[in-house]
């Protein structure tokens, strides 16, 4: 074989080892080009057979149809040179994909579709294979054409026909039937099939993400709301990376529209709107996506976001789809354009199919405007309650508003109001300004030019808190709030400032509920005045107070307000608030939502070129979320990136925290490389010695985990060296009364005893007993009892059961109030008593253990 042939064979090896995607496609294109240039038709045939599944998976209908026609022509002309099967690729298999592709565009007539199905049947019969795949194609085509009664007939025949080597896989058969049932209004039948797919872990190329997407609205209608929420999060994460998944994205948009998550839906739409130009021949996907976009945009419009800009819609490539527009696309304008484009496409499909199936689908989407499920997700709920009161028409009202905003240090908003005041005063035909008004305007402008607002009363309150205590500061705050001017509704900005101060003081006094009420009152004023930065900051305070009060739902809502107001004011604190919300959601068992929030933060940080340390912290939190979701490979990847970025930024605290999380996860998974990672955590922690973050516990904890990992790897001597150094560090920290040092010191002694147990039993026993004594000293009775049992176990393992008994008896006494542990200790003591021939005592402790249940 010449060099071109050798190169193509090498490319085939690479293609077959590369997942579907741009890299794989580039290799296929190179192979086809080389084969065509060198007249190597057989290799060109083999390359195009590889292109067929790739183009199908990646949504390149043009390439798929061209390659199929080329291969069919060659096979028909010379089946010996171009056989149906080459390696693991079978031309017969791809007939079904061609039928689906022809159905997806009104450019192809029904005659084209019928001809493709007939050709498929003829070829299958000729080759002597079963016709299950042909019946599946007929069923699929009938559903797509809206001939639902006929589809039911084909489905019945399909079920009566034995499966064969060319049948659709079990997953896809179920998925297509489920979609049919949803279409004819039999949600229960469709969900039963979806439950089989998901419950049995069935997969295929686009499954289970396709099944998940199609099941979202039926699940809502069935009242399975929490399940729908979790599947939306899981399914969107699976679907978002492949432009051929546009129909799935459409279903997620509909889900967001009807569950009160229009803000989240707008974010999703921004990410995927340009997929409308990915596959020019997949008009079916475009129709569904445009109609779903109109549904989502309508929901956002009804929630008060009609004027919000949809940046992705300004992509010039979308002009043939959406039309020309000189201005930025707003939610309202894009809704009209998307609905119109969907209607145009639907009319072309209905004309081809000779019915009104697509018009009925569009009407069904329109009817979703009347459907609503309260199922909040993450941060991005659009709400009209963020709209501030309109700008006053009169000059005095505007001056009052500007003064209120300045009292809240909302200088940007105040500057706009002062400009509006001047415009009103200069308006032709207006009343001349009074001397007081002129002076007032001058005073406002002077305050604007000053470095910042200084409120002596607030400063005095905080000084009182520092010197005289919280009660004195709160009393001063109540006195200030009782000012008649404030009680009569004037001085709203000052009242908001005092209320926020009250909230801070009450929070510091552990009066979280009262503090939350004060924060909410201040927040309401800020929202009414349009003071977005104030509102965002105050909502953050309220969120923390709600969390401290154990009111997670209230905290989530306040985090949402903080994020929304920060986003509208384009404040950087939006991202930090998203991270905090994500952490709260993860702590509440909603890890997928938390990861979604953190991933959105990371996307924005990456796009804006945020510092490496900021991205590292986001990655660390993403890693935590993935651990909670038990998706450990993704967690490892996130933690590794976090360690790398934090180390590059010399953020040693973050590098240490990330390396500890990574190393512990690797060690738990039995990965020996976790030892090196934990050694790196130790080195990062040592770097903290020269920084303001010099908490000795980071180094102590790092050495502890490093020593444990070494011991687990049977490197006990090295483990002992590391643990002894950590013990010395912990003793110093405990002497300095570090609150966490005493427990860590006792736990380190326990770990040292475990490392020494096999080779140095005497020292191991001493360390375990010392650990037990230290645990007991700080009232940690369960670990104290376990340390005693560790010492007893060393004695027992070295054939000294008589020495183990006193330690076991001491452990039994220590653990008397902990039956969940005591039973194990009693049974272990029974074995040792039995070994010593003390059968009566063995029976006593075993009976006692049995009585514990």
Report how far residue 700's alpha carbon sits from residue 707's, in angstroms, rounded to the nearest whole number: 10
Beta carbons of 168 and 96 less than 8 angstroms apart: yes
Residue pLDDT, tens place only, 183-211:
999 999 999 999 999 999 999 989 999 99
- According to the model, what pLDDT value does residue 384 have? 42
Helices (H) and strands (E) in the chain, counts: 42, 2
Residue 273 CA to its chain's centroid (Å): 20
Cα–Cα distance measured from residue 561 to residue 384, given in angstroms and rounded to the nearest whole number = 11
Are 378-571 and 757-853 the same fold in CATH?
yes
DSSP string of 267-289? HHHHHHGGGGGT-TT-HHHHHHH
pLDDT of the residue at 382: 43
Tell me if 238 sits within 8 A of 209, measured CB to CB: yes
Below-70 pLDDT ranges, the chain: 1, 378-387, 425-431, 451-455, 487-490
Q: What is the CATH number of domain 757-853?
A: 1.25.40.10
pLDDT at 454: 60
Q: Tell me the whole-structure pTM to 2 decimals.
A: 0.72
Asked if 359 contacts 113 with a C-beta cutoff of 8 angstroms, the reply is no
Give the pLDDT score at 430.
57
Q: How far are the Cα atoms of 3, 441, 753 from residue 35, in angstroms, in the given order?
A: 11, 80, 68
Q: Domain 378-571 belongs to what topology? A: 1.25.40
| Residue-range domain boundaries for the chain | 240-377, 378-571, 757-853
HSE-up (13 A, CA, CB side) for residue 817:
6
Q: What confidence tens digit (pLDDT) does each residue in 81-130 have?
A: 999 999 889 999 999 889 999 999 999 999 999 999 999 999 999 999 99
């Amino acid at each position: 074989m010449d060099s071109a042939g050798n190169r193509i064979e090498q490319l085939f090896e690479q293609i077959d080892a590369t997942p579907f995607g741009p890299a794989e496609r580039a290799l296929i294109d190179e192979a086809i080009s080389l084969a065509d240039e060198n007249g190597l038709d057989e290799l060109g045939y083999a390359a195009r057979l590889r292109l067929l599944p790739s183009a199908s998976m990646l949504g390149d209908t043009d390439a798929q149809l061209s390659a199929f026609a080329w291969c069919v022509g060659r096979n028909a002309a010379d089946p010996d040179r171009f056989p149906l099967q080459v390696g693991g690729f079978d031309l017969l298999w791809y007939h079904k994909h061609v039928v689906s592709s022809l159905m997806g565009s009104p450019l192809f007539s029904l005659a084209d579709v019928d001809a493709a199905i007939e050709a498929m049947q003829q070829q299958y019969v000729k080759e002597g294979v079963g016709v299950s795949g042909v019946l599946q194609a007929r069923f699929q085509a009938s559903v797509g054409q809206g001939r639902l009664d006929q589809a039911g007939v084909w489905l019945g025949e399909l079920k009566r026909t034995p499966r064969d080597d060319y049948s659709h896989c079990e997953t896809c058969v179920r998925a297509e039937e489920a979609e049919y049932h949803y279409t004819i209004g039999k949600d229960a039948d469709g969900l039963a099939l979806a439950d089989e797919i998901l419950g049995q872990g069935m997969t295929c190329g686009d499954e289970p993400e396709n099944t998940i997407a199609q099941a979202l609205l039926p699940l809502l209608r069935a009242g399975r709301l929490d399940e729908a929420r979790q599947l939306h999060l899981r399914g969107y994460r699976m679907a978002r990376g492949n432009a051929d998944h546009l129909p799935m994205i459409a279903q997620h948009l509909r889900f967001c529209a009807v569950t009160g998550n229009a803000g989240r839906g707008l974010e999703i739409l921004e990410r995927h709107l340009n997929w409308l130009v990915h596959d020019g021949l997949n008009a079916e996907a475009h129709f569904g996506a445009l109609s779903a976009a109109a549904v989502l945009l309508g929901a956002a419009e009804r929630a008060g976001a009609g004027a919000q800009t949809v940046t992705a819609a300004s992509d010039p490539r979308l002009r043939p789809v959406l039309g020309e527009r000189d201005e930025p696309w707003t939610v309202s304008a894009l809704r009209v354009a998307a609905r119109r484009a969907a209607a145009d496409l639907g009319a072309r499909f209905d004309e081809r199919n000779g019915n009104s199936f697509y018009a009925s689908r569009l009407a069904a989407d329109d009817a979703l405007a009347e459907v609503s499920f309260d199922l909040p997700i993450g941060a991005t709920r659009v709400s009209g309650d963020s709209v501030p009161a309109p700008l006053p028409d009169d000059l005095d009202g505007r001056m009052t508003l500007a003064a209120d905003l300045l009292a809240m240090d909302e200088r940007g908003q105040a500057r706009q109001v002062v400009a509006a005041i001047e415009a009103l005063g200069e308006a032709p035909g207006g009343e001349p300004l009074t001397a007081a008004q002129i002076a007032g305007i001058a005073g406002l402008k002077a305050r604007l030019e000053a470095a910042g607002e200084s409120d002596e009363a607030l400063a005095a309150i905080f000084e009182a808190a520092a010197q005289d205590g919280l009660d004195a500061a709160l009393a001063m705050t109540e006195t200030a709030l009782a000012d008649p001017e404030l009680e009569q509704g004037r001085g709203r900005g000052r009242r908001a400032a005092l209320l926020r101060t009250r909230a801070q003081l009450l929070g510091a006094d552990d009066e979280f509920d009262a503090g939350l009420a004060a924060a909410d009152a201040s927040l309401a004023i800020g929202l009414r005045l349009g003071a977005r930065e104030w509102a965002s900051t105050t909502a953050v305070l309220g969120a923390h107070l709600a969390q401290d009060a154990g009111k997670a739902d209230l905290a989530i809502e306040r985090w949402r307000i903080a994020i929304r107001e920060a986003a509208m004011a384009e404040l950087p604190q939006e991202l930090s608030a998203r991270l905090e919300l994500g952490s709260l959601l993860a702590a509440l068992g909603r890890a997928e939502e938390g990861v979604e929030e953190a991933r959105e933060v990371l996307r924005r940080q990456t796009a804006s070129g945020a510092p490496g340390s900021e991205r590292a912290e986001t990655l660390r939190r993403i890693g935590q979320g993935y651990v909670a979701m038990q998706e450990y490979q993704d967690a490892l990847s996130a933690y590794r990136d976090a360690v790398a970025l934090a180390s590059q930024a010399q953020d040693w605290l973050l590098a240490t925290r990330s390396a500890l999380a990574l190393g512990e996860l690797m060690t738990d998974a039995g990965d020996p490389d976790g030892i090196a990672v934990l050694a790196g955590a130790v080195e990062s922690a040592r770097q903290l010695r020269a920084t303001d973050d010099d908490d000795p516990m980071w180094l102590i904890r790092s050495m502890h985990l490093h020593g444990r990992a070494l011991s687990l790897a049977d490197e006990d001597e090295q483990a002992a060296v590391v643990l002894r150094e950590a013990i010395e560090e912990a003793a110093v920290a405990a002497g300095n009364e570090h609150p966490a040092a005493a427990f860590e010191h006792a736990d380190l002694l326990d770990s040292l005893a475990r490392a020494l147990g096999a080779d140095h039993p005497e020292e191991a026993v001493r360390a375990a007993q010392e650990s037990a004594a230290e645990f007991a000293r700080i009232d940690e009775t369960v670990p104290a009892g376990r340390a005693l049992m560790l010492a007893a176990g060393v004695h027992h393992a070295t054939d000294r059961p008589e020495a183990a008994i006193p330690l076991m008896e001491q452990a039994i006494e220590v653990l008397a109030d902990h039956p969940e542990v005591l039973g194990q200790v009693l049974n272990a003591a029974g074995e040792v008593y039995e070994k010593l021939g003390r059968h009566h005592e063995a029976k006593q402790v075993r009976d006692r253990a049995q009585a514990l249940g």
